[in-house]
């Protein structure tokens, strides 16, 4: 019978991404409730030393698949290794990151195992030992609570920045196991040619603790400098509304909303954004929302914890100055 | 290319009485916005290399409108799988239906939107690629087909950067915003689309077992829908001047919200 909870960690260039710790933390909570062990799966090349990091957050066992061909993520290699391990060990629940990589992987893996996947979940619970997952649909205009039929493993991906992190326990250790897998080169059809790092990119919007976002009211691409200055001071990532992106002021990778990224930072500062429904859907789960807008009737004020009615060209630099004084 | 019909993004979503579906009255149904990029890319590839663009959709009769839109943009033919037993399919169920249609077609590239802008799962593309046994490259913002038509090179957008990935054809690609600027259907295009072939098929005609699709074949079951946590308007920050407002806001964020 299927037993145990697995989480699939995510690394890039040998560094674990924060979502990996969020998954271990959530996996620990579920494992304790079920009275089952928590296993973290770590794929990469020369990656074994990272296993102890996963232990600190609560993993009982870390299965390490160490292979040159796993250094960089490819759908082919990762899905085939994980599917093989899952078939051998039969975990009952498997959680992956709802990152671009994790979504790609989970879809392929689920089809290999002939099971379903609940994507981009924000909350997990258990009912009669079975996973119950809550996930946003229509970019957060509603939430669906889903369960699984009798198929195992029950696969879900978790949205970054939402699940609570455990306090790392430096004294905690895990059993580290070398994965046994057969990876045939003929299965590897795709090839990664290169990775182009985004220029000046700090933290991605989906992982950012703080976001300063600008819309139509920014009036032009040159004015985003104001937001970047504020973002620098509070260690935030700069985002944009759809109209700003469609106007060509910012790259589409900066877009927050239904056709862009769905974000949930601790602090979201919306500057010159009126608050179209498709934008609100993309940032409505932010913990604290600040709106700075000239128009007191702008719908964004209905969602904002703190509203400033005023000219962003005056308020934003003044805010930057005030926060600098606080530090 | 695979097409889905979804509510327009300006739609207010209301949960129906049954608690597991949304109210579909007064919804404006449109082609999934990510699918528009997929159609456009398919057309650009056809313009360069020749060939034919086939649009495959699953859903009720209204989906023919979206398929006609793709035909009006320049696609050559459409196939709609319209069958009550397909209702309630999860991603894998839909992928099984699409695979059953596509496996008998002659194809080089399958293009899908990166996700449906309704349930936001983004799973069908990967499911379908696995069922067809071909490689996938998802969330693509740039696509190039090699001169000899044997491989593709795709730019795949991830957090903080872009991977450049190569795959042999046939392969499946899912389209992200930024891949291209979808064209509008021209009036002559709309006229021509009316005469283009659009086949309607049933699950039985595809040789699929009805138990593999629809609610029966789904692994994932929606047990309830809930509205998002209500956010109410908070404080309007006081101040006579922009500087005063900024100072008060900084104080509130620091002392009350404790986020800076």
Domain boundaries, chain B: 2-217, 229-260
Partner residue opposite B130 with nearest CB, options A111, A141, A306:
A111
Whether residues A221 and A124 fall in one domain? no
The average confidence (pLDDT) of chain B is 96
Give me the domain span that covers residue A148: 5-187
Using DSSP's 3-state secondary structure scheme, residue B50 falls into coil
CA A152-A157-A163 angle, to 5 degrees, is 120
Question: Given this model, what pLDDT does residue B230 score?
Answer: 84
Beta carbons of A119 and A134 less than 8 angstroms apart: no
Whether residues A209 and A105 fall in one domain? no
Interface of A with B in 100-139 (CB under 8 A): 100-101, 103-104, 106-108, 110-112, 114-120, 132, 134-139
Nearest Cα residue to A218 out of A210, A200, A208, A230: A230
Question: Given this model, what pLDDT does residue A201 score?
Answer: 59
- Say if residue B160's pLDDT is above 90: no
- A142/B15 CB distance under 8 A: yes
Where is pLDDT greater, at B34 or A141? B34
Instruction: Report the first-to-last Cα separation within chain B, whole angstroms.
Output: 47
Question: Given this model, what pLDDT does residue B10 score?
Answer: 86
- β-bridge mates for residue A125, sequence order: A132
Nearest Cα residue to B24 out of B50, B5, B37: B5
Question: Given this model, what pLDDT does residue A1 score?
Answer: 67
Counted across chains A and B, CB pairs separated by less than 8 A come out at 278
CA A282-A285-A286 angle, to 5 degrees, is 95
Collect all residues of chain A within an 8 Å Cβ-Cβ radius of residue B223.
Answer: 132, 145-147
Each of the 327 residues of chain A gets a pLDDT tens digit; together they read 689 999 999 999 999 999 999 999 999 999 999 999 999 999 999 999 999 999 999 999 999 999 999 999 999 999 999 999 999 999 999 999 999 999 999 999 999 999 999 999 999 999 999 999 999 999 888 999 999 998 899 999 999 999 999 999 999 999 999 999 999 999 999 999 999 988 765 789 999 999 999 999 999 999 999 999 999 999 999 999 999 999 999 999 999 998 899 999 999 999 999 999 989 989 998 999 999 999 999 999 999 999 999 999 999 999 999 999 987
- Give the mean model confidence (pLDDT) for residues B32-39: 98
- β-bridge mates for residue B3, sequence order: B57
CATH annotation of B2-217: 3.40.50.620
Partner residue opposite A148 with nearest CB, options B123, B128, B220:
B220
Inside any domain, residue A200: no
> CB contact, 8 Å: A192 with chain B?
yes
- For residues A94 and A99, what is the distance between their CA atoms, to the nearest angstrom? 15
Question: Given this model, what pLDDT does residue B233 score?
Answer: 87
Inside any domain, residue A194: no
Inside any domain, residue A196: no
- A307/B237 CB distance under 8 A: yes
Whether residues A152 and A50 fall in one domain? yes
Whether residues A224 and A119 fall in one domain? no
Inside any domain, residue A130: yes
Inside any domain, residue A73: yes
> CB contact, 8 Å: A142 with chain B?
yes
- A206/B159 CB distance under 8 A: yes
Structure tokens at A161: 């920045």
Whether residues A122 and A243 fall in one domain? no
Q: Residue-wise over A227-247: b if at least 16 C-beta within 10 A, else e? A: beebbebbebbbbbbbbbbeb
- A140/B160 CB distance under 8 A: no
The CATH number given to whatever domain includes residue A226 is: 3.40.50.1220
Q: Which of A155, A187, A219 is the last residue of a domain?
A: A187
Q: Which of A127, A158, A187 is the last residue of a domain?
A: A187
Q: Which of A187, A215, A236 is the last residue of a domain?
A: A187
- For residues A267 and B258, what is the distance between their CA atoms, to the nearest angstrom? 10
Inside any domain, residue A119: yes
Inside any domain, residue A198: no
- A306/B157 CB distance under 8 A: no
Q: In this structure, how many other beta carbons lie within 10 angstroms of the beta carbon of residue A308?
A: 29
Report the chain A residue with the minimal C-alpha distance to residue B116.
Answer: A138
Collect all residues of chain B within an 8 Å Cβ-Cβ radius of residue A241.
Answer: none
Q: In this structure, how many other beta carbons lie within 10 angstroms of the beta carbon of residue A225?
A: 10
- Give the mean model confidence (pLDDT) for residues B191-219: 96
Q: Name the domain count of chain A.
A: 2
Whether residues A216 and A278 fall in one domain? yes
Q: Which of A160, A253, A261 to mutate to test the interface with B (most CBs of B within 10 A)?
A: A253
Taking the alpha carbons of B205, B210, B215, B219 in that order, is the dihedral positive or negative?
A: negative
Whether residues A156 and A17 fall in one domain? yes
Whether residues A167 and A233 fall in one domain? no
Whether residues A183 and A216 fall in one domain? no
The pTM of the full predicted model, rounded to 2 decimals, is 0.94
CA A214-A215-A221 angle, to 5 degrees, is 75
The CATH number given to whatever domain includes residue A84 is: 3.40.50.620
- For residues A248 and A224, what is the distance between their CA atoms, to the nearest angstrom? 12
- Say if residue B134's pLDDT is above 90: yes
- Name residue, tokens 């069908």: B124
- Say if residue B170's pLDDT is above 80: yes
Instruction: Say if residue A123 is exposed, middle or buried (CB neighbours under 10 Å; 0-12, 13-18, 19+).
Output: middle
Using DSSP's 3-state secondary structure scheme, residue B136 falls into strand
């Amino acid at each position: 019978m299927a037993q145990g909870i697995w989480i699939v960690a995510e690394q890039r260039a040998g560094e674990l991404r924060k979502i990996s710790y969020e998954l271990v933390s959530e996996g620990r909570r579920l494992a304790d409730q079920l009275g089952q062990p928590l296993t973290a799966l770590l794929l990469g090349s020369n990656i074994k030393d990272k296993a102890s990091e996963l232990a600190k957050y609560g993993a009982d066992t870390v299965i390490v698949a160490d292979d040159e061909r796993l250094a960089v993520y490819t759908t082919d290699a990762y899905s085939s290794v994980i599917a093989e391990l899952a078939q051998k060990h039969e975990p009952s629940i498997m959680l992956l990151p709802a990152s671009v990589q994790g979504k790609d992987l989970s879809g392929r893996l689920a089809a290999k195992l002939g099971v379903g996947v609940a994507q981009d979940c924000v909350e997990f619970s258990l009912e009669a030992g079975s996973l119950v997952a809550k996930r946003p649909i229509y970019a957060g205009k509603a939430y669906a609570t889903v369960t699984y039929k009798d198929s195992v493993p029950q696969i879900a991906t978790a949205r970054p920045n939402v699940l609570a992190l455990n306090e790392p326990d430096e004294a905690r250790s895990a059993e580290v196991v070398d994965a046994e897998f057969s990876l045939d080169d003929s299965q590897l059809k795709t090839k990664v040619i290169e990775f182009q790092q985004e220029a000046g990119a700090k933290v991605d919007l989906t992982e950012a603790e703080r976001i300063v976002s600008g819309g139509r009211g920014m009036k032009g691409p040159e004015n985003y400098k104001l937001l970047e200055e504020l973002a620098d001071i509070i260690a935030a990532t700069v985002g944009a509304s759809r109209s700003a992106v469609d106007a060509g002021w910012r790259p589409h990778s900066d877009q927050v909303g239904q056709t862009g990224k769905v974000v949930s930072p601790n602090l979201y500062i919306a500057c010159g954004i009126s608050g179209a429904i498709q934008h609100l859907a993309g940032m409505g789960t932010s913990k604290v929302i600040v709106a700075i807008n000239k128009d007191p009737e702008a719908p964004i004020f209905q969602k904002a914890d703190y509203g400033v009615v005023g000219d962003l060209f005056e308020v934003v630099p003044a805010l930057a100055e005030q926060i600098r004084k606080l530090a | 290319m695979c097409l889905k019909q979804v509510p327009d993004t300006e739609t207010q979503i209301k949960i129906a009485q049954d608690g597991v579906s949304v109210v579909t009255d007064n919804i404006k149904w449109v082609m999934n916005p990510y699918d528009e990029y997929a159609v456009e890319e398919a057309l650009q590839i056809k313009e360069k290399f020749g060939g034919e663009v086939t649009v495959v959709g699953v859903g009720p009769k209204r989906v023919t409108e979206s398929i006609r839109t793709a035909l009006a943009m320049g696609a050559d033919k459409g196939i709609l799988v319209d069958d009550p037993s397909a209702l309630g399919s999860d991603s894998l169920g839909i992928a099984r239906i699409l695979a059953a249609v596509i496996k008998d077609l002659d194809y080089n590239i399958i293009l899908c939107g990166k996700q449906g802008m309704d349930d936001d799962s983004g799973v069908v593309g990967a499911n379908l690629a696995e069922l067809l046994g071909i490689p996938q490259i998802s969330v693509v913002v740039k696509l190039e087909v090699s001169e000899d038509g044997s491989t593709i090179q795709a730019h795949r957008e991830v957090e903080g950067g872009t991977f450049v990935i190569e795959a042999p054809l046939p392969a499946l690609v899912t389209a992200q915003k930024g891949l291209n600027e979808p064209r509008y259907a021209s009036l002559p295009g709309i006229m021509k689309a009316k005469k283009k072939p659009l086949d309607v098929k049933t699950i039985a005609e595809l040789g699929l077992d009805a138990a593999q699709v629809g609610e029966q074949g789904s692994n994932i079951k929606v047990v309830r829908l809930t509205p998002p946590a209500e956010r109410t308007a908070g404080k309007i920050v006081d101040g006579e001047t922009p500087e005063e407002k900024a100072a008060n806001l900084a104080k509130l964020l620091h002392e009350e919200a404790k986020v800076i």
